A and B are shown apart, each in its own frame.
Chain A
Amino acid sequence: MAFSSLKEIMEYGEKSGLPFWEAVLLDDMEERNVSREASLEQMRYTWNAMLEASSSYEPKRKSASALTGGQGKQMEAYCEMYPPICGPFMGRVITEALKTAESNACMKRIVAAPTAGASGVLPAVLIPYYETCGTSEGTVLEAMYTAAGIGQVIALRASISGAAGGCQAEIGSASAMAAGALVHLRGGSALQISHAAAMALKNLLGLVCDPVAGLVEIPCVKRNVIGAVNAISSADMALAGIESRIPPDQVIDAMRAVGDKMDSTLKETGMGGLAATPAGMEIVQKLQRG
């Protein structure tokens, strides 16, 4: 049975002496009736698909609407030319988030994490960390179990779908997952993992889903950037010992409540928010004219 709260994962860990990620792994073995090796193998396949999505990025490729493409490259070039304000590591994070999110919009292969729209967030923190901070593949896989465990609890208690809960449920959830993964990479505790996830989710609470013309492009691509950047700041706060004053599971429940109250025009219908701006409507008309 999947865990129904972050608290449950932590309590399980306290009782068994196992870290957060391993509780999630054992649960997967039980739920899908697979061996430890089979589960790890599937996670490795998922990780490799993330790496491949990044390395096969095509800067010249455009989406079907021609609205998306090339900004990952643009950011990369900028970071090479000038030291970015946020520092070189964050520069890479922004670049990776743009690359994967653009690849998704351009019909390339990505890993939905937890959705295709938010697919850039997790690789944007994992790939630069893996490549610059000397972490082993094994530790990255552990971080991915950590992320998946957080996502599973959110999916169960709230939602991971923009149509059901707004963008807080997609980019917000992805950010919470990435924050937890980072804390694991840094050797943080299960408690710190939960609080990093909680803070990441809190900071994006209320975010609406308002894709222009209903396409997973505007504002989705750039929202992957804030999801990733927010994950890093939340992980750093948690590692500093800062906690969310609202308990993590209650933050998730609040996300659900906010999603339930959100107007349907702000839940993936392409009728509210940025989609309903004059510029957004103009794009719709242009696409209809073909």
Chain B
Amino acid sequence: MHIFDILGPVMVGPSSSHTAGAVRIGYAAYKLLQEEPKEAEIYLHGSFAATGTGHGTDRGLIAGLLGMQPDDNRIPDSFQIAEKEGLSFSFAEKEIKAAHPNTALLCLTGKSGRKAEIQAASVGGGRILIQKLDGVELNVSLEKPTLIVHNLDRPGCVAKVAELLSDRKINIASMQLYRMSRNGTAIMALETDQPISEEAIHSLAHTDGILKVTFISMNT
């Protein structure tokens, strides 16, 4: 842990796991949807379900979906802001098998009709893990800028992505591969040392076998 994990984060209270972590989950989900959400069906599991209201977990998740960061003073008013911005939402409790106690499942529809389903856990100190994306199990922390690529599960896709990045002098810090089932879809999650340009994302998205490309940097 670096010193600003000890003196920090600067955040809206009361709990780094139940409030700040919830905001970050909402924010990550908003980024993964790639547009402003219009509808959000949210399911809370475990301690998020049991003590979420008292900790502002619900308000935090909505704040994140609206693009707020954990230090945003408007978090307590996120429900009213959502109403003004045309985001309708619902909350329900749900037992999710083998999930971390602080888990939320978000089913989102964007303003242009895009859909995304994200299951994420708040694992302490405001840190989060994305554990399921559109039905594919993964394990992504988003601590570093992360590129998420949905692709067809067939030979050559990984090599193409790696080549395109190396051509642009982008260093891959880590790479994880996940698949739904053979010949179905797969997801690549790559942490990079350098930011990725619009151009690179565009080229990637138009590569054969690549279905969708999302670049997430949690601090912007």
Enumerate chain A interface residues (CB-CB to B < 8 A).
2, 24, 27-28, 31-32, 42-43, 45-46, 49, 63-65, 103-117, 119, 122, 144-145, 147-149, 151-152, 155-156, 160-161, 163, 177, 213-217, 270, 287
B7/A2 in contact, CB under 8 A? no
Closest CB-CB distance, B124 to chain A, in whole Å?
6
B13/A103 in contact, CB under 8 A? yes
**Residues on A with beta carbons closer than 8 Å to the beta carbon of B8:** 46, 111-113
A116/B6 in contact, CB under 8 A? no
Q: Which of B4, B5, B54, B125 contacts A64 (CB 8 A)?
A: B54
7 tightest Cβ-Cβ pairs between the two chains A and B: A104-B13, A151-B6, A148-B3, A214-B51, A216-B14, A107-B76, A49-B10
A152/B3 in contact, CB under 8 A? yes
Of B15-23, B112-120, B168-176, the one contacting chain A is B15-23
**Residues on B with beta carbons closer than 8 Å to the beta carbon of A64:** 53-56
Contact (A116, B7) CB under 8 Å given A2-B1, A31-B2? no
Closest CB-CB distance, A178 to chain B, in whole Å?
11
Chain B residues 1 to 58 lying within 8 A of chain A, measured CB to CB, are 1-16, 19-20, 47, 50-51, 53-56
Q: Which of B6, B11, B56, B125 contacts A148 (CB 8 A)?
A: B6
B2/A116 in contact, CB under 8 A? no
Q: Which of A28, A106, A108, A213 contacts B3 (CB 8 A)?
A: A28
B194 in contact (CB, < 8 A): no
Enumerate chain B interface residues (CB-CB to A < 8 A).
1-16, 19-20, 47, 50-51, 53-56, 59, 71, 73, 75-76, 124-126
Q: A216 vs B55: C-alpha distance in the bound complex, in angstroms?
A: 8
Contact (A107, B47) CB under 8 Å given A42-B4, A148-B6, A161-B125? no
Q: Which residue of the partner chain B has the closest CB to A113?
A: B7
Contact (A151, B7) CB under 8 Å given A28-B2, A64-B54? yes
B51/A147 in contact, CB under 8 A? no
B73/A65 in contact, CB under 8 A? no
Q: Can you give 21 contacting A-B residue pairs, CB < 8 Å?
A: A27-B3, A43-B7, A46-B4, A46-B10, A107-B56, A108-B13, A110-B13, A111-B7, A113-B6, A114-B7, A115-B125, A116-B13, A117-B15, A144-B7, A147-B7, A148-B3, A148-B6, A151-B6, A152-B3, A161-B125, A215-B51
Q: Which residue of the partner chain B has the closest CB to A52?
A: B10
Q: A46 vs B3: C-alpha distance in the bound complex, in angstroms?
A: 11
Q: A32 vs B144: C-alpha distance in the bound complex, in angstroms?
A: 13
